[in-house]
Structure 1
């Protein structure tokens, strides 16, 4: 049974803590620390990536260049890894208009690239998304009346829109197998936080879309969105009392807690699903600035990518240490996207969406792999 403690943070009660050796509490403004579990960052390596001692990087793919027989897409964004026999697959979205979609890279057991292919085409500004427990990829359109597409990372089945999950400016998704719901963020200055309850777990074609409503004390209730596909009234405006968030970004579920980020106020939030409380894990300007995509490990560590900032991925530990684990040099006009660990936890994948040139079209995107002794 998970144990929860509650710490006052601003006007919210922070109920998002994990048990025992994991999260012991949360706080509004976490003090920065450079005494993290991996030590300080060294000088940038040959790939321009600054890493702690014992970690190495390689460039896996570049926009406009061939990898595994595929021309790698522009503006690589949200991503996830999937098991594939004795190897694995990394899926990446493309955040460009009209031709966005998503691609997949297949790796062998030694990490060598053995193939690449498209799993979604002809969609619009595919930003983040999320992996499902049944090993499909939810690719989210970050546009007005955007859709969620369920994709097959193995390339065998056609991608399908899941319209019951709502038509809004989708950002990320995270599955909660215990409550059998999918949490969804909305990238609007006054966006909401949603959950989708499918009629049958594992089938996202039909279900109920609900919006989070939180009291000043952080107590959460969920209310049904009357018309998830409405043309005239946005989903975020259909329920009185829906809680507003300043630009929803990444979303990650682990052990009864759903973490999500909001770029407008540079916060990492935590929704305690068991006690139905909303709290804040991180609320500061440094060392983490420009919160965006988020992932985690079984050890309870969170990895938060920066949109701009210092072009870092920062670690937030259960002990509330916040420290950079990598930095990309010379990409000041880009953002870090798509952090995801290989199934064995030894490799971290991510992209610099616009690369060193920083052009808006993302024609200089770079996808990386970092290998090292990550805590599991």
Structure 2
């Protein structure tokens, strides 16, 4: 069966002896599991090799033969945007949209933590003492910059987010910092902040963002979002490093596809496995692991904690980080390990559990090296059938190590960015369960420092599928435009 035909099958589930029968892209993963291939690298594909950057001829990436790329917005050197803003680093999650005249508009997160003056126009900032946000850049399919500007400022730790089909990017704050919360893992005081953080923000592509958070979608360590245009739900991941993380859904009061925006005031819920309260899904899973799920309500989604202005708040950061999740756990919500990237594709939400797949943790935290002892899992949630399935679990760091941001190609391949302390790859996972290499970081800094362990983030295809845009997430970030014969390498 062709890839297009496989992906066009109706999603569904039916009770079956010993499990659940699934359709759509799950079929390919199941067939590979039966062949014993899931969790192992398949037969070798074309090897990656050094390719010079079209910006200046330096080799920054290894790619398949015939592929080309151009980097831009390299903040190892000052970059000034059209509105006079100095571009911040920490390029992270990113979404691609159609721009005027055949260009692509990229809305890009900047995951900057700690209090400090907002970049851009401080009068527009959500919090003038928060340094994160998003920038929008207009580029050709070949990474040639045509313009760039500030599109959201005064937020914190803008990690990932999600592309919305009505023409917006939703940016996520991976923090609960605020003047009402004690210092986070950096030990830095939150007293200078003027607003609570830990929310999601809508950033329209063709008009300014209003800088108002969607508070009903929760105050927690948000990582990414994926929108189901049929059900109208926004699915949200949580990267709560030292504690179990949750998989959430937010149902806005009005369907965004009808009103053209994301409204506040909806309902937040957390995933639980039916009949198995507080199931630890961060632990290594059996083959064909499949679960029917239910959703439990979060009653107090956007807490504010008591504090005296100008003084350190009595509520600890750990207490604030787990406040929302603890409500879900009390109703049996499942435990995951560090949920990060997510992507919606034809009725399925794929999402990564960065440290999932190892031996179970002895407690629910705090865990100094992160909750989860594995090298990563990729999960798939069928929005119609309300069924969760593990589609990949890494057997070790030499195969897949700490999957982070994800996107899907026009042909249904999952594109995964790695975030580890060794070589970082962009990898592909096909609907047949085949894992293969797409790109390898071979960055060297201007001073000669080895930057090959800088993580990839923000993978997103141009609307026509020609170009894969991806970031290097580091204090000195940059963005790549990569193109070539995607079909020829199975992407």
Is it true that 1:35 corresponds to 2:41 in the alignment? no
Residue 93 (structure 1) aligned to one of 98, 109, 115: 109
Farther off after superposition, 339-348 or 200-209: 200-209
Residue 458 (structure 2) aligned to one of 338, 348, 353: 338
Q: In structure 2, what is the Cα distance between the partners aligned to 1:230 and 1:169?
A: 13
**Structure 2 stretches lacking a partner, 5+ long:** 1-8, 53-57, 114-129, 177-196, 257-261, 277-289, 306-321, 357-375, 443-449
Cα offset, 1:154, TM superposition? 3.0
Alpha-carbon contact 1:14-1:26 (below 8 Å) kept: no
Cα offset, 1:29, TM superposition? 4.0
- Change in 2 beyond 3 A, CA 1:29/1:136: same
Farther off after superposition, 308-317 or 13-22: 13-22
Q: In structure 2, what is the Cα distance between the partners aligned to 1:16 and 1:123?
A: 40
Is it true that 1:288 corresponds to 2:320 in the alignment? no
Is it true that 1:318 corresponds to 2:431 in the alignment? yes
Task: Give the equivalent residue in structure 2 for 1:66.
Answer: 79
Task: Give the equivalent residue in structure 1 for 2:334.
Answer: 243
Is it true that 1:170 corresponds to 2:290 in the alignment? no
Alpha-carbon contact 1:136-1:152 (below 8 Å) kept: yes
* DSSP-derived class of the 2:332 partner: coil
Aligned residue runs from structure 1 range 242-321, under 5 A: 242-265=333-356, 266-284=376-394, 285=396, 286-308=398-420, 309-321=422-434
Q: Deviations over 1:114-158 (max 9, x none)?
A: 100010111111100111111111110000250101112334343
Task: Give the equivalent residue in structure 2 for 1:359.
Answer: none
Give the helix-richer structure, 1 or 2: 2
Residue 140 (structure 1) aligned to one of 148, 167, 172: 172
* DSSP-derived class of the 1:236 partner: helix
* DSSP-derived class of the 1:238 partner: helix
Aligned residue runs from structure 1 range 119-134, under 5 A: 119-134=151-166
Alpha-carbon contact 1:32-1:323 (below 8 Å) kept: yes
Give the strand-richer structure, 1 or 2: 1
Alpha-carbon contact 2:95-2:162 (below 8 Å) kept: yes
Farther off after superposition, 166-175 or 328-337: 328-337
- Change in 2 beyond 3 A, CA 1:108/1:263: closer
- Change in 2 beyond 3 A, CA 1:15/1:184: farther
Alpha-carbon contact 2:11-2:385 (below 8 Å) kept: no
Give the RMSD, CA atoms, in angstroms. 2.6
Cα offset, 1:33, TM superposition? 2.1
Farther off after superposition, 296-305 or 200-209: 200-209
Alpha-carbon contact 1:47-1:59 (below 8 Å) kept: no
Cα offset, 1:72, TM superposition? 2.5
Q: In structure 2, what is the Cα distance between the partners aligned to 1:276 and 1:73?
A: 40
* DSSP-derived class of the 1:237 partner: helix
- Change in 2 beyond 3 A, CA 1:150/1:300: same
Q: In structure 1, what is the Cα distance between the partners aligned to 2:142 and 2:407?
A: 24
Cα offset, 1:310, TM superposition? 2.2
Q: Deviations over 1:70-124 (max 9, x none)?
A: 5322111100101113221011111112201010111247753210001011111
Q: In structure 2, what is the Cα distance between the partners aligned to 1:14 and 1:89?
A: 41
Alpha-carbon contact 1:82-1:88 (below 8 Å) kept: yes
* DSSP-derived class of the 2:132 partner: coil
Cα offset, 1:47, TM superposition? 3.2
Bigger radius of gyration? 2
Cα offset, 1:58, TM superposition? 1.0
Q: Deviations over 1:199-246 (max 9, x none)?
A: 111132221111100145511111111111134671111132001111
Q: In structure 2, what is the Cα distance between the partners aligned to 1:13 and 1:49?
A: 43
Number of residue-to-residue matches in the alignment: 363
Residue 24 (structure 2) aligned to one of 10, 18, 21: 18
Q: In structure 2, what is the Cα distance between the partners aligned to 1:313 and 1:79?
A: 15
Residue 47 (structure 1) aligned to one of 51, 59, 75: 59
Q: Deviations over 1:269-293 (max 9, x none)?
A: 1112222111111111242211100
Q: In structure 2, what is the Cα distance between the partners aligned to 1:221 and 1:282?
A: 22
